[in-house]
Structure 1
Amino acid sequence: MRVFQIEGNWGLENLRLSQRPEPVPRDDQILIRMHAASLNARDLIVPNRGYGRATGELPLIPVSDGVGTVIGVGSRVTRMKPGDRVCPTYFQNWIAGEPTPDRFASALGGPLDGVMADLVCLSEQGAVRVPDYLTHEEAATLPCAALTAWSAIAIHARTKPGDRVLIQGTGGVALFALAFAKLHGAHVTVISSSDAKLEHVRSLGADETINYTTTPDWSRSAREIAPERGGFDTIIELGGEATLAQSVKSIRVGGTIALIGVLSGLGPTLPLGAIVTRQIRLQGVTVGHRDGFEAMLAAMAHHRIRPVIGARFGFADLKSALAGLGKPDALGKTVIRFNDHVE
């Protein structure tokens, strides 16, 4: 079968289209024929062993997010049957409850082999059925970016109607966070450096927008949007070093800053006095568990929420897809079609 794998040595230059034998499911496993995959920022980090030893060993099949159809099951499988359309879960061992080192060590696409293979064999516990209304491309975007946004909005921030939520940027997690915050009845502000992107997110339901290039001190403008609370209830923090201090200025007393991205760097200068005296909650968010994934899918199906799809590439064009990931004009999730007819 076709696979993309990092082989010989680390580095994107060692990411190659190759062949592996077709896997055979054990008693508790399912065999999935993959239809589509989608890319995340970590897919640029893994080939360069950016997570150190936690990245895994070579050869390694990259990419965590995808969708496929179950074509074979082991003798003890009860959760799935042939013909079910499923997404593998990002953390294969995190079913529910709190994170643990063992659960965090079970991520697809590093350290475990990912989904850039025609056939993927997994434990039946490591996949969820996806709603019929979603296309293959749409479903492929869900395991990492969507669940991260859901965990931040629904689980950690416990967003409720009337809450004020600020979201940084217009990337995959940000657009899912916008959809889920609106689903929960929140008033949503989005910041971006692009007026065109801000216009687009308004069409997706954003209530207010701020261009942080033309308004560098965006925390001042942000606070004016939620004056009755003294700031936002929740901020989806994706910028990291360059934005966290302004997020602290923008959050209300007792509010939650969901720390997800570090796009501008890893070493912010934190106003610790304000964090302590205003009882601000800094909540790291790394994807989520399978129970949360299934709850998210139920909410999406009820409200018919559709992901925003950006660039599309064929299986053999993975390197080109990675090269275009995160370009300033990109909007929506980058997807990989395993066959030309995939929708």
Structure 2
Amino acid sequence: MKLVRLRAPGGLDRLELVEEDPPRPGPGDVLVRIRACSLNMRDDFAVQGKTPLGDGRVPLSDGAGEVIAVGGDVDALRPGDSVVSVFYPWWLDGDMTPATRRDIPGENFDGFASEYVCMPAHAFTKAPAGHSHLEAAALTCTGVTAWRGLVVRGKVKPGDTVLVLGTGSVSLFALQFAKAAGARVIATSSDEEKLERLASLGADATINYKAVPDWGREARELTDGRGVDHVIEVGGPATLAQSLVACRTGGHIALIGVLTGFAADVSIPAVFSNQIRISGISIGSRADQEDMIRAIEVNGLKPVIDRRFPLRDIAAAFTHYGARKHFGKVCLEL
């Protein structure tokens, strides 16, 4: 089988395409022929050497394919099933704990940049019916993140207003989930072409945050001064203050991303005096993923795919991803 190993200390020139024998499933395991993977920011950090990994680690946390064989004591999956990986294989349900957040594919153990993988059956769920492997591979990290932030923790409901920042995959998924829930969506970008694409996906109003630096106030004005019910906050330090301005009294901010850094000055009175609820979101559980997949099937939602690359061009895929000009998921086909 073909697979990619990342040699320490990392860097795109340290991604090696190699040939190895396929693994064999033991008790509780499934052998999956991976057909597609998708790239995420944490994968980019890993391959660039910003997240130290062991020498020879197989990267990528998101993969999809079909079950080839199962070990003993596996009942939920069978050969031929289309499956998609789970980001936290040991976080099955409920709240995250230190024990359940361990062992992330592509970081603590080998990930999905490989034609075959053998993992415990609970490291996968069934893929949405009617989705290609490429579409299913887009769901694991960013799809579940948007779902948990907006639906599980945010409890979005019909008539709510959701503010999504930028055109990253989390924001695009959140836009789709919000519209499926009957909510109104305000979306931001600095690119007029991308703003048009956001509108075509269902955004009810858009704001160019470069043209309107006080975009938080603009979002509030678009709700007749009430403020938005939910913010999908992916920017971090440079955007959080505006997100607080945009939020209604008692509103919810799903704090997800760190695109602009890791530390922010936050107006504490703005949080408590307006009773803003801020939820830190780190992907979600296996149960969250299964709930999301049912909702995707019922609503006929499809992830936005930007571009696909063959496995041998993984370095080019990360170069494209790192340019930050994509709209939707950057994927690999195996």
Instruction: Please give the range of the TM-score, normalised by the shorter of the 2 chains.
Output: over 0.9
For 2:25 and 2:218, how far apart are their aligned partners in 1? 56
Partner of residue 273, structure 2: 277
For 2:236 and 2:165, how far apart are their aligned partners in 1? 10
Partner of residue 165, structure 2: 168
Partner of residue 13, structure 2: 13
1:326 CA drift (Å):
4.3
AA aligned to 1:88 is S
Any idea what SS the aligned residue of 2:54 has? coil
Q: TM-score, normalised by structure 2?
A: 0.97
Q: Deviations over 1:213-243 (max 9, x none)?
A: 1111111211101235x31110000111110
For 2:268 and 2:20, how far apart are their aligned partners in 1? 52
Partner of residue 319, structure 2: 323
1:21 CA drift (Å):
2.6
Count of residue pairs brought into register by the alignment: 334
Q: Deviations over 1:191-229 (max 9, x none)?
A: 10011111111111000000001111111211101235x
Partner of residue 284, structure 2: 288
Alignment of 1:1-343 (within 5 A): 1-51=1-51, 56-227=53-224, 230-338=226-334
1:310 CA drift (Å):
0.5
1:48 CA drift (Å):
4.0
For 1:6 and 1:50, how far apart are their aligned partners in 2? 13
AA aligned to 1:237 is E
Which stretch shifts more, 109-118 or 5-14?
5-14
1:328 CA drift (Å):
4.2
Any idea what SS the aligned residue of 1:149 has? helix
Identity %: 40
For 2:117 and 2:23, how far apart are their aligned partners in 1? 7
1:267 CA drift (Å):
1.7
1:278 CA drift (Å):
1.3
Any idea what SS the aligned residue of 1:158 has? coil
For 2:40 and 2:132, how far apart are their aligned partners in 1? 19
Any idea what SS the aligned residue of 1:266 has? coil
Any idea what SS the aligned residue of 2:99 has? helix
Task: Calculate the aligned-residue CA RMSD, in Å.
Answer: 1.3
AA aligned to 1:47 is V
2:8 and 2:54 in contact (8 A); partners too: no
Structure 1 unaligned spans of 5+? 339-343
For 2:106 and 2:8, how far apart are their aligned partners in 1? 17
For 1:187 and 1:108, how far apart are their aligned partners in 2? 35
Q: Deviations over 1:130-179 (max 9, x none)?
A: 12311121111011111101111110100000001100001111110000
For 1:272 and 1:140, how far apart are their aligned partners in 2? 39
1:49 CA drift (Å):
4.4
